[in-house]
Chains A and B, each alone.
Chain A
Amino acid sequence: MLSEFRMPALGADMEEGTVAQWNVAPGSRVKRGDVVAVVETDKGAIDVEIFEDGVVRELVVQPGTKVPVGTVLALIEREGEPAAQAEPRPSPAPAAATPARPAAERAKISPAARARARELGVDVESLQGTGPGGAITREDVERAAAPSREPGAAKPAVVEKAGEGSMREAIAAAMSRSKREIPHYYLSLTTDVTAATDWLKTHNAAIPVTERLILAALLVKAIAIACREMPGFSGFYRDGRYEPSPSVHVGVAVAIRGGGLVAPAITDTANKTLGALMEDFRGLVARARAGRLRASELAAPTIILTSLGDSSVDTVFPIIQPPQVAIVGAGTPVIRPWVVDGQVVPRQVLTLSLGADHRVTDGRLGAQFLARIAELFATPQQL
């Protein structure tokens, strides 16, 4: 029996995507979790995995084609089932698959240069990069588009922004929908995080650099545990009702230099050790900025942390990403006068905030949720 591999929805705001390349050809054997295609979306190029074992029977949509979410991209013959005769299709796809490089060997190129290549119609797979490690730079792209351009010609004064226009539109659409449909309430709690920052300093000094943690990783774990205890903040509101998620997948908002942001998930966050969580976190940030996220990582978050810890702000007023029902914000940790045991002392404090959905929870529960996160954060050795 043939099954249909469809264009996934990578968030509530995605309506269509372009198949940028296939990593498989008809006859390729695939297994669950394999990255079979790269799809260009408003959030950049996303590696799309398959969720069953089988053999690729036909690639229905050719590279370069933009199709709506839900469109059948390929037909897969499921493993262990007898070969089926495919229905003749009115416009059969060409048999030869694009000689795509495997995902791991895709052209090394910054999102800025990739966006420029799209604008100029340059095929990046055919370019030799001159940047570090053979990376294709924006200049390589422009040189390929205009071979006669003089080397001394003035460079554009402004750095190209990676697909900022379309990503900005996607963010605007999602946030408008959120503000239109979700009755938000907001809470904030300023809490003493000296114990966490001190613990982190000691912990990081005693371990190899490769295993060091950042403060946000502790916060992610604290949020995940609080969500496990209070399921009204981790799940999806769909078709008029709330479904708490059986597992907590905390999404981390990652700013894309040049504009925009994405929020991929650290899956099963509550059950990960801090070390494993940090490894996933680092990988997600690296891939988000390289435009190499996986579809499942973008669709998975059950709640998001948006941390502006490096940006010198006190409080974030976060907006929920539908269909989620809560989002936690973190400002910058700062030293402030604080009363401890009746004495005013300098302490490192952080303002946590919560944007949550009144259709599911109310302020009282939200206050307990924030307080629980702060409590967990204050005892990092137990995370």
Chain B
Amino acid sequence: MNRDELATRLLGLLTEIAPDVDPATVIPGIDFRDQFDFDSMDTLNFAIALHRDFGVDVPEAEYSRLASLEKCVAYLSGKIR
């Protein structure tokens, strides 16, 4: 999976756990918290979705590495093939 494909799949997960976010408005380089008031529940739900779809277990201490679409792609591209 290349980075573009990964970004598309992550965007799908993002809008699955935050259905009130319009995917067309997501800016990859800006933190979800600043764009959509992402809170601790959203972050947990995102981590659960990543575990379900990619089998990646993100420890709580590394939640900050999921803060934006760009950061997610960077973090996950090293963990999945």
Binding site for B on A (CB under 8 A): 108, 110-113, 131-133, 135, 137-139, 155, 159-160, 162, 201, 204-205, 208-210, 212, 214-216, 255-258, 281-282, 285-286, 289-291, 309-310
**Does any Cβ of A come within 8 Å of B67's Cβ?**
no
Q: What are 11 inter-chain pairs, A to B, with CB distance below 8 A?
A: A110-B15, A110-B19, A110-B21, A112-B20, A131-B15, A137-B23, A139-B24, A159-B25, A214-B44, A281-B41, A290-B20
A-B pair count, CB < 8 Å, reads: 91
How far in angstroms is the closest Cβ of chain B from A375?
23
Within 8 A of A (CB), among B1-54: 11-25, 33, 36-37, 39-41, 44-45, 47-48, 51
Task: Note all chain B residues with C-beta closer than 8 A to A133.
Answer: 12, 15-16
Closest chain A residue to B33, Cβ basis: A310
Contact of B22 among A159, A209, A210, A290 (CB under 8 A): A159
Interface size on B, residues (CB 8 A): 30
Min CB distance B7 to A, Å, is: 12
In the assembled complex, the Cα of A213 lies from the Cα of B54 at a distance in Å of: 21
Q: Are the C-beta atoms of A138 and B22 separated by less than 8 Å?
A: yes
In the complex, what residues of B have CB within 8 A of residue A113's CB?
22
B contact set with A: CB distance below 8 Å: 11-25, 33, 36-37, 39-41, 44-45, 47-48, 51, 57-60
Q: What residue of chain A has the Cβ atom nearest to residue B58's Cβ? A: A209
17 new A-B pairs (CB below 8 Å) besides A132-B14, A133-B15, A257-B20?
A110-B15, A110-B19, A110-B22, A132-B16, A138-B24, A155-B24, A205-B60, A208-B57, A209-B47, A209-B57, A216-B41, A257-B36, A258-B20, A291-B19, A309-B39, A310-B39, A310-B40
Across the interface, B19 reaches (CB within 8 A) one of A159, A204, A215, A290, namely: A290
Q: What's the least CB distance linking A79 to chain B, in Å?
A: 35
List the A side residues contacting B40 at CB < 8 Å. Answer: 214-216, 309-310
Chain B residues with Cβ under 8 A from A108's Cβ?
Answer: 19
Task: Give CA–CA (A284, B16) in the complex, Å.
Answer: 15
Q: Are the CB atoms of A205 and B59 closer together than 8 Å?
A: yes
* Contact A214–B21 (Cβ < 8 Å): no
**Contact A132 B15, beta carbon cutoff 8 Å:** yes
Q: Contacting B48 at CB < 8 Å: which of A111, A209, A216?
A: A209
Most buried by A among B13, B22, B51, B57: B22
Establish whether residues B41 and A257, one from each chain, have CB atoms under 8 Å apart when the complex forms: no
* A257 vs B20: C-alpha distance when bound (angstroms): 7
Contacts of B20 in A (CB 8 A): 110-112, 162, 256-258, 289-291
A215 to B60, CA, bound (A): 13
Please determine whether B24 and A209 come into contact, CB atoms closer than 8 angstroms: no
Residues of A with C-beta under 8 A to B17: 286
Residues of A contacting B14 with CB < 8 Å? 132
CB of A329 to closest CB in B, whole Å:
16
In-complex Cβ contact of A209 among B18, B37, B39, B51 (8 A): B51
Residue pair A257, B24 in contact (C-beta under 8 Å): no
A309 to B17, CA, bound (A): 20
CB pair A289 B22 closer than 8 Å: no
The answer to whether B19 touches A135 (Cβ under 8 A) is yes
**Taking A110-B20, A137-B24 as contacts, is the C-beta distance between A212 and B15 under 8 angstroms?**
no
Chain B residues near A160 (CB-CB < 8 A): 22
Query: Could you tell me the distance between the alpha carbons of A326 and B41 in the complex, rounded to whole angstroms?
Result: 24
